[in-house]
């Protein structure tokens, strides 16, 4: 088959990492990073050892979402050539965002971006992990393809909003995973509905149920729905993810139910 060029061609092995879960989406802005962070925290809450990798090379947002804007990885004394990544909320987090200034655009072509991603994976001292959650770049380009081919991904989850157009893109992602034989855990519908915190009225701002229907059609599990909620947005922007700040809240329960299905 055809492989994207760049980087080595050997499969990447991460001997201290028991499983790798990728979080993908057809397009940007659907809440893939927000979902990655809150799912990773739900896995920590289940007592698992969790790492989080920001593979969104062109738009790293995890340093901000995890409250780590000024953090930097440090060289490991124990493991030559490896970096110990910053930690927050009980997990190690690695991102290209720790290496570049926030205002700097990343202008690498595919092969260079893949090289950088491989380094982040391989040269990070992850320690023993039950699960490494990988926040993928949106879409189905070179990076996604070579990740799927070179890294032993345990399973992928696909995040989508209910709108048809977003779902079309999610279908593309699903087909890509199938082609490269990466198991798909299923679809998550984000921004599924809006419940007014004052009166409890529910609005389906971006339509509703689309992801569930698509999952049925495509023969993959529907993993759950997360509403559009100001607290989720503020938590992500302020580096205080909702699963951390309101562990007993209804949103954390929803993320927790999804986490149960992936690890």
> Which runs of consecutive H residues, i.e. helices, occur in 30-163?
32-45, 62-65, 110-122, 142-150
Question: Tokens in use for 195?
Answer: 């419940």
Judged by CB under 6 A, the chain residues 230 through 249 that form the site for ligand ADP are 232-233, 236-237
Binding residue (CB under 6 A) for ligand ADP from 22, 24, 32, 48: 32
Binding residue (CB under 6 A) for ligand ADP from 22, 34, 140, 146: 34
Question: Please, what's the b/e burial string for 136-151 (b: 16 or more CB within 10 A of its CB; e: otherwise)?
Answer: bbbbbebbbbbbbbbb
> Which runs of consecutive H residues, i.e. helices, occur in the chain?
32-45, 62-65, 110-122, 142-150, 164-179, 210-218, 230-237, 242-245, 250-262
Residue 50's DSSP bridge partners are: 131
Smallest gap from residue 33 Cβ to ligand ADP (A) = 3
Judged by CB under 6 A, the chain residues 47 through 106 that form the site for ligand ADP are 61
Smallest gap from residue 13 Cβ to ligand ADP (A) = 28
Q: Residue 181: CB partners within 8 Å, gap ≥ 6?
A: none
Smallest gap from residue 136 Cβ to ligand ADP (A) = 9
Cα gap 108→128, rounded to integer Å: 31
Nearer to ligand ADP, 6 or 256 (CB): 256
Nearer to ligand ADP, 125 or 161 (CB): 161
Binding residue (CB under 6 A) for ligand ADP from 31, 85, 162, 210: 31
# of chain residues touching ligand ADP (CB under 6 A): 19
Nearer to ligand ADP, 6 or 186 (CB): 186
Residue nearest to ligand ADP as judged by C-beta position: 31
Judged by CB under 6 A, the chain residues 171 through 230 that form the site for ligand ADP are 190-191, 226, 228-229
Judged by CB under 6 A, the chain residues 102 through 161 that form the site for ligand ADP are 138
Cα gap 188→168, rounded to integer Å: 14
Q: Is 25 in the site for ligand ADP (CB under 6 A)?
A: yes
Residue 159's DSSP bridge partners are: 25, 188
Question: Tokens in use for 38?
Answer: 């809150």
Nearer to ligand ADP, 67 or 127 (CB): 67
Spatial CA neighbour of 174 closest among 188, 190, 195 = 188
Nearer to ligand ADP, 7 or 97 (CB): 97
Smallest gap from residue 3 Cβ to ligand ADP (A) = 26
Q: Sign of the C-alpha dihedral, residues 144, 149, 153, 154?
A: positive
Q: Which residues bind ligand ADP (CB under 6 A)?
A: 25, 28-34, 61, 138, 190-191, 226, 228-229, 232-233, 236-237
């Amino acid at each position: 088959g055809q492989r994207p060029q760049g980087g080595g061609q050997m499969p990447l092995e991460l001997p201290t990492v028991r499983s790798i879960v990728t979080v993908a989406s057809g397009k940007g802005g659907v809440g893939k990073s927000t979902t990655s962070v809150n799912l990773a925290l739900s896995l920590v809450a289940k007592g698992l050892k969790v790492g989080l990798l920001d593979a969104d090379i062109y738009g790293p947002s995890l340093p901000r979402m995890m409250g780590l804007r000024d953090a930097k990885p440090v060289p490991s004394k124990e493991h030559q050539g490896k970096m110990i990544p910053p930690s927050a909320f009980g997990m190690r987090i690695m991102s290209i965002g720790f290496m570049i200034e926030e205002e700097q655009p990343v202008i690498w072509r595919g092969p260079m971006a893949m090289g950088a991603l491989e380094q982040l994976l391989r040269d990070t001292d992850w320690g023993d992990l039950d699960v490494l959650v990988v926040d993928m770049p949106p879409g189905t380009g070179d990076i996604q393809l070579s990740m799927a081919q070179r890294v032993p991904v345990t399973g992928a989850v696909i995040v989508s909003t209910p709108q048809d157009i977003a779902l079309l893109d999610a279908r593309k992602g699903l087909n890509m995973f199938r082609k490269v034989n990466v198991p798909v855990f299923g679809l998550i519908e984000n921004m599924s509905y809006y419940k007014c915190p004052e009166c409890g009225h529910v609005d389906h701002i971006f339509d509703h149920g689309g992801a569930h229907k698509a999952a049925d059609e495509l023969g993959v599990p529907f993993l759950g729905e997360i509403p559009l909620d100001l607290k989720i947005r503020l938590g992500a922007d302020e580096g205080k993810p909702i699963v951390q700040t309101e562990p007993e809240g209804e949103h954390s329960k929803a993320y927790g139910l999804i986490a149960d299905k992936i690890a």
